[in-house]
Structure 1
């Protein structure tokens, strides 16, 4: 049920390549600690509870993004309303305004030239795009934010 889609009554978690191997090892340790002769459903459930990646996914923490960075872009534009709308639809994590510009936090996989092309394709006139900071995401921060 862990990997069964939510629509079908499962948890809908996404398996990684290492899940099966890790679960087998964790289940053996759980089985021994429980004094069981074989791995049964209860052992598997306890193993799933101890698997770090599964625990993070169960807390809705996107583990694929944990090691990435966030880039903050300054977009010089005379059309901040349209720029903000387009940036939010493009996946900006946060958008803020300053005089004559819009600031946007985006994943580090997006380059200034990609952002410029997207804004232009969406009809947003831009003067210049600068990367003003890059921040590493940390797993501790992601977990702490989840608890708020």
Structure 2
């Protein structure tokens, strides 16, 4: 038996996009409201692709600066079924979730945002799904 957390993409660099102002060593934990719904989430979400983290911070609610943190899972993690089962079979976005905290180990200083029209189209699509009652995140 090992105490080392495991999951898909073990050994990859993982990212979490948000508007929260945090520092290295802080923990991101489940139990907060997410980017796509107002109820607390029982999972913490992250990705092994920078693009998925960019979406995370661009779609994050709040007024803070968009940030992308480099994170390390402190417990086992799994494919994010919101994407892998519903939108992108095979998980090309390399999106994951865990019930264990993520430790912030750094911050990505520079990244390219999505074009304004692409971001607006995504926000409109999410609003449409919400209006239709679609379960966006479980």
Normalising by the smaller structure, the TM-score range is under 0.3
TM-score normalised over the length of structure 1? 0.25
Of Structure 1 and Structure 2, the greater helix share is in 1
The TM-score with structure 2 as length reference comes to 0.26
The structure whose Rg is larger is: 1
Structure of higher RCO (CA pairs closer than 8 Å, 6+ residues apart): 2
